[in-house]
């Protein structure tokens, strides 16, 4: 089934089409909405497509979104993960594989981290923290901040893993771990301040609470 306007060259028309699809949910639209997520160039339209999918029954959207996680197109995987995080149905958890959580594409991996901390079953947080910790020190600011936020969202369950990373031989891992711990203790400080604090602590040769 087609969604009128969803392939229009004007983003404003596509946005209205996605809004209409969510305002009046129709299961016959799910495939087309998911397909459009994979190729839609505009962020705001993609976000509306995700919203439209959340308006449909998760029992119908989950299988289609999980299929997208195997797509060769990075945007398809990233947007499917983003949508799964917004739906929040933990039946999708088995699809959040280690391969996705360590994906080489930064957009995909950030979406996977966000989805994982929403969908992780009770009691499995420490194991997830262990996988996420393998990515400490990776990438530029946005990626590092996304990982810090994901770890912080796991709460106390991630602390043993984070403390171990704070003494990692790799200085990039160590700095990122220390900055994450500082951000946990003072969320209002901001990531840049936390990174600078981490650099200062490493220069002093200590990871103690006193810095």
What pLDDT is stored for residue 19 in this prediction?
97
CA atoms of 32 and 35, how far apart (whole Å): 5
Q: Which residues contact 39 (CB under 8 A, 6 or more apart)?
A: 73, 75
Q: Enumerate residues 6+ apart whose C-beta is below 8 A from 108.
A: 74, 77, 78, 81, 100
Q: How far apart are CA 53 and CA 50, in angstroms?
A: 5
CATH number for 1-100 (one of 3.20.20.70, 3.40.640.10, 1.25.10.10, 3.40.50.2000): it is 1.25.10.10
Which tokens in the block code for residue 192? 């840049």
- Domains of the chain, by residue range, sit at 1-100, 120-205
pLDDT confidence of residue 192:
77
CB atoms within 10 A of CB 165: 24
**What pLDDT, on a 0 to 100 scale, did the predictor assign at position 8?**
95
pLDDT given at position 206: 56
Q: Which residues of the chain have pLDDT under 50?
A: 208-211
């Amino acid at each position: 089934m087609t969604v009128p306007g969803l392939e229009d060259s004007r983003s404003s028309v596509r946005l209205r089409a996605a809004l209409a699809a969510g305002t009046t949910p129709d299961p016959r639209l799910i495939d087309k909405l998911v397909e459009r997520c994979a190729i839609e160039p505009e962020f705001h339209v993609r976000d509306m497509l995700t919203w439209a999918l959340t308006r449909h029954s998760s029992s119908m959207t989950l299988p289609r979104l999980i299929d997208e996680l195997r797509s060769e197109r990075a945007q398809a995987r990233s947007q499917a993960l983003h949508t799964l995080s917004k739906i929040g149905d933990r039946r999708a958890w088995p699809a959040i594989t280690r391969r996705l959580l360590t994906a080489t594409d930064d957009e995909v991996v950030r979406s996977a981290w966000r989805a994982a901390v929403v969908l992780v079953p009770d009691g499995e947080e420490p194991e997830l923290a262990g996988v996420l910790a393998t990515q400490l020190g990776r990438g530029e600011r946005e990626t590092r901040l996304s990982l810090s936020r994901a770890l912080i969202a796991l709460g106390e369950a991630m602390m043993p893993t984070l403390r171990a990373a704070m003494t990692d031989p790799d200085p990039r891992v160590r700095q990122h771990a220390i900055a994450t711990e500082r951000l946990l203790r003072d969320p209002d400080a901001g990531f840049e301040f936390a990174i600078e604090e981490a650099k200062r602590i490493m220069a002093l040769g200590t990871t103690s609470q006193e810095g």
